[in-house]
Homo-oligomer: A and B are copies of this chain.
Amino acid sequence: MDLQPILNAIADDCSKEKERGVVASYIPELAKVSDEKFGMFVLDAQQNEYFVGDAHERFSIQSVSKVLALAQAFGIVGRSLWKRVGVEPSGNPFNFLSLLEQENGIPRNPFINAGAIVVSDVLLSTLKDPKQDFLAYIRELANDQSIVYDNIVAKSEKDTGSRNRATAYLLKSFGNLENDVEEVLDLYFHQCSVSMSCEQLAKTFFVFANRGYCTRRNKYLNINQVKRINALMLTCGFYDEAGEFAFEVGLPGKSGVGGGIAAVLPQQYSIAVWSPGLNKKGNSKLGLNALEAFTTQTNLSIF
């Protein structure tokens, strides 16, 4: 199927949209980004590329990085990871520390902050040079050595990270954090700060669409690991809008407050979209619209 006309039409519709959501402002670097930005990139099973708009401009991937950290940690330690973090939706964003408290320091899933912090702790315990090794992992998946951390973003996250520190110390009080809190958070904040374009994200996420093989056909995950990660994206990838996303879009995916969303249809394609304005739940407003339009028009969703 030639997806290009569909992407063009979607981008056209989005460019006319007046209500573009609200750009995240809790750190200055995110607040600076124009809400006019919009990009989309699709990589199909045959590695045909389709794109539109600002598909090659880099943005802060933020929580999209949680999937990549999970993939690296899962690949290293395997199923033992699930002793330290759950695989179920959390249900309630407003009580996250409460839930962690009630469930004795085992985060509900690796895509809430508490869970991602545990994943960072696993990486810190297993990688030789965690920050470089995590970056190297993404670069390999994307087949792109130009991907880097945005150190200014990382520093801003660090400076405003009281809530993440509270989370990390609560994990530590339950014995579910092996390393020093500041070291874990340093890695975590760097992960969130990675800058990538839609193109780079779509190429990176191809591994989840392609049964664990990256674009160069190297194997990074086994089929069971890919299935687990995709299931987690579907049930937990969109905060407390996961059910809505499953319905509206019908793809495993993950969003970030930078306005990026990456998603896959297993064995068919990977896709990334970027529009910085967020809806009330913290997901890219036009990004959701664009993905909904894409799966509806192509009829390529899991449902």
User: Which residues of A line the B interface, CB within 8 A?
Assistant: 86-92, 94-99, 101-102, 108-109, 162-163, 165-170, 172-173, 181, 226-228, 230-232, 234-236, 240-244, 246-247, 250, 252, 266, 301-303
Contact = CB atoms under 8 A, between A and B. Distances in A.
Contact of A97 (B101, B162, B235, B247): B101
Given A169-B163, A302-B302, A243 B247 contact: no
Q: Which 5 A-B pairs have the closest CB atoms?
A: A91-B91, A98-B98, A166-B169, A231-B247, A162-B173
Contacts of A168: 166
The listed residue with most B CB atoms (<10 A of its CB), out of A102, A163, A266, A303, is A303
A90 B88 contact: no
A88 B227 contact: no
Nearest to A301: B227
Given A97-B98, A165-B165, A173-B163, A236 B243 contact: yes
Identical subunits present:
4
A250 B223 CA distance: 13
B101 A95 contact: yes
A109 B240 CA distance: 12
Contacts of A95: 98, 101-102
A172 B90 CA distance: 24
Contacts of A230: 303
Contacts of A108: 91
Contacts of A109: 243
18 contacts: A86-B243, A88-B242, A91-B99, A92-B92, A95-B98, A95-B101, A97-B101, A98-B102, A109-B243, A162-B172, A166-B167, A169-B169, A231-B303, A232-B243, A234-B246, A235-B242, A235-B243, A236-B243
Given A227-B247, A242-B235, A101 B99 contact: no
A244 B87 contact: yes
A250 B235 contact: no
Contacts of A86: 243
A303 B231 CA distance: 8
Nearest to A100: B97
A243 B169 contact: no
A72 to B, nearest CB: 19
Given A173-B163, A234-B234, A88 B302 contact: no
